[in-house]
Structure 1
């Protein structure tokens, strides 16, 4: 009997540890399986469509977005920012670019992300996004169940053209400190609550 217990213990010890829950990884690093969420997701959340006053796309499956054709443009790290460029959409001064800097998770699990978008001109437009992430069940085309990890924008704060500053989280409070911006926005610090509607 002791031999069987020892054999089972050795067998269990040799098995790989179960993968961390993708939602936990997303909240810790804004990655899934070590791959960053594609920055162009935020273009769909409204960064690239500034003519609309509210986001039209309000849910994206982060699991499917990674390695998808829709977000296949090359992504690279640029300091604390993850940057994705559409080389086929070259404007006067360059390609359309979407970037983000993941600030972190609030105490309630909402995610805080600074983004920047440029359509290839001289403007670089910054937004602070508060995003929820949650598991959802769905059916595939064959009727089999599968799980989605859905990102949903909860609040977006437009920071302006060529914004400079910092965002920090304390509990569920997000403090935005602006040092420079070409918009008419005040430079005074602002604190907003990361909260679910």
Structure 2
């Protein structure tokens, strides 16, 4: 009677690395696989919830992207690394949540005014652009609202020691002034944004309900 041949050692030497790799992807409950830590994960989270590692984007980002600069006709700072912005000294003011809105207040040096920056994340369009309504008050009675269409992209750069690090760049593609004490709704359908103002009497001037549609697109 002939014996069945035994598998060669070469077969096991090739198979073991594959088994080890597959085993490394299987973790106990609550663990995170190597696939979940891919560079696209923070970008996907930002596009879905406008957060990074569960932390909201600082509202004062929109102040610096043009909402707080009403003297110029267009934004000067158009891109901010929001990964670096979260937890930074530049945006150290406490972030408070009120329903869907996130707010930061900042005591201005040299006067008694307190500025307030806030935003509400509307969502992402079909082509993965982000839609946000932001408001800004410099400390007076006016509260000025702006709709922002933004593009978020992962990037890399060199730090002060010349080492590579990851960036998450948020860029304003288009801003639409909604006015003082605006009140209304915003709806996304595919790549079309419908802005409906409910009317009201902000700043003592009556407004009629209006609806404006915009196409969200990259230049």
TM score, norm. by length of structure 2: 0.80
| 1:143 match | 162
Compute the displacement of 1:13 (Å): 2.3
1:57 aligns with 2:77: yes
Root-mean-square deviation (CA, aligned residues, Å) is 2.5
Within 5 Å, give how 1:119-134 maps onto structure 2: 119-134=138-153
Rate the CA distance shift 1:53–1:95 in 2: closer, same or farther, 3 A.
Answer: same
1:191 aligns with 2:205: no
Q: Distance in 2 between matches of 1:196 and 1:82?
A: 26
Within 5 Å, give how 1:10-21 maps onto structure 2: 12-14=26-28, 16-18=31-33, 19=36, 21=41
Compute the displacement of 1:22 (Å): 0.4
Within 5 Å, give how 1:53-92 maps onto structure 2: 53-88=73-108
Give the strand-richer structure, 1 or 2: 1
Length, aligned pairs only: 193
Q: Distance in 1 between matches of 2:152 and 2:111?
A: 33
Larger radius of gyration: 2
Q: Is the 8 A contact 1:60 1:151 kept in 2?
A: yes
1:169 aligns with 2:191: no
- Higher mean C-alpha deviation, range 46-55 or range 183-192: 183-192
Q: Distance in 2 between matches of 1:56 and 1:9?
A: 50
Gaps of 5+ in 2: 1-11
Compute the displacement of 1:88 (Å): 4.5
Q: 1:63-110 CA deviation, whole Å, 9 max, x = no partner?
A: 000000111111100111000110346977x62100000000001110
Q: Distance in 2 between matches of 1:90 and 1:166?
A: 37
Q: Distance in 2 between matches of 1:95 and 1:130?
A: 27
Gaps of 5+ in 1: none
TM score, norm. by length of structure 1: 0.89
